[in-house]
Structure 1
Amino acid sequence: MTDTPRTPPARPDPALLAWIDRLALGLALVAGLALCLLALNVFVDVIGRAFFKTPLRGTLEMTAQWWMPALTLLAFAYTERRQDHIKVTILLDTLPARMRAWVEGCFGLIATALLVGLAWHAWHEAMDSFGYRETTSSLPPVAIWPVKFVAVIGVAALALQTAATSFRHFTGRLPGGAADTQGEGEAA
């Protein structure tokens, strides 16, 4: 019988990071629901047009103002958690692994600060929109003020996840982490 080398168990993430990850997953599931509702909305519109000569009024507005923003903005944090955003790593690939992790962590902190500023601005925009109950100019009018709060939630969750990713870079907890020297676009 041969002994296989054992790898030490991975350190569990702090509770706050686990909560941020669960939040990102939950919002991604809501984004998936928005995608299903978009498809259902369009399906009902097409069936109404084709068979009953009556389209579902407001489909274009609901698609553009409700479903598309929800499915994109709410999925950003989960995409960050999985490290699936597009990155250009030409300069980072030349750095030693530990230095690369620190540089990415620092850029993550800068991104977090920018995202917090964006979330703050989005909050004020959402409150203004709520104040006058913003709608589209179509007939029937479609309320768009609620989706402004979806933008706040999505950007704030992305800020949290970016901060969590920075922490993971600094502590070597990112999957593939500082030990991974292979470029992102390279084959294994």
Structure 2
Amino acid sequence: MLNIGRLLSRITNTVSIVGGLAIALMMFHISFDVAGRYFFNTPIPGTITIVSYYYMSIAAFIPLAFAEQKDAHISV
């Protein structure tokens, strides 16, 4: 049983790193879109769709596993 806990902990930590990288990628994607729109008058096509369907899903659901692992949910 202890081995399963360690395996799940490693998976959660790895997925959390992937989530952090996705959030950083989202930041760069939006920054490049804004810079392209204002400096070159050519935004990146599909930025709103990509950000809202992919990056935001990753940003919303991946940290839930990490919060569950650390018992760090918000409580009132």
- In the superposition, the TM-score normalised over structure 1's length comes to 0.39
CA separation in 1, counterparts of 2:45 and 2:59? 21
Runs of 4+ aligned structure 1 residues displaced above 3 Å come to: none
Contact conserved, 1:31 with 1:75, CA < 8 A, in 2?
yes
Matching residue of 2:24: 36
CA separation in 2, counterparts of 1:72 and 1:48? 27
Identity of aligned residues (%): 29
Superimposed CA distance per residue, residues 104-141 of structure 1 (whole angstroms, 9 cap, x where no aligned partner): xxxxxxxxxxxxxxxxxxxxxxxxxxxxxxxxxxxxxx
Superimposed CA distance per residue, residues 134-163 of structure 1 (whole angstroms, 9 cap, x where no aligned partner): xxxxxxxxxxxxxxxxxxxxxxxxxxxxxx
Hey, which of these two has a bigger chunk of helix by percent?
2
- Larger RCO (CA within 8 A; separation ≥ 6): 2
Superimposed CA distance per residue, residues 15-65 of structure 1 (whole angstroms, 9 cap, x where no aligned partner): 110111111111111110110111011011011011100111111111100
Of 20, 25, 38, the residue aligned with 2:13 is 25
CA separation in 1, counterparts of 2:6 and 2:59? 23
What is the CA RMSD across the aligned residues, in angstroms?
1.3
Matching residue of 2:54: 66
Paired amino acid for 2:42 = T
Contact conserved, 1:45 with 1:55, CA < 8 A, in 2?
yes
Cα deviation, residue 87, structure 1: 2.6
CA separation in 2, counterparts of 1:73 and 1:15? 25
Cα deviation, residue 83, structure 1: 1.1
Max Rg structure: 1
Aligned residues: 76
Gaps of 5+ in 2: none
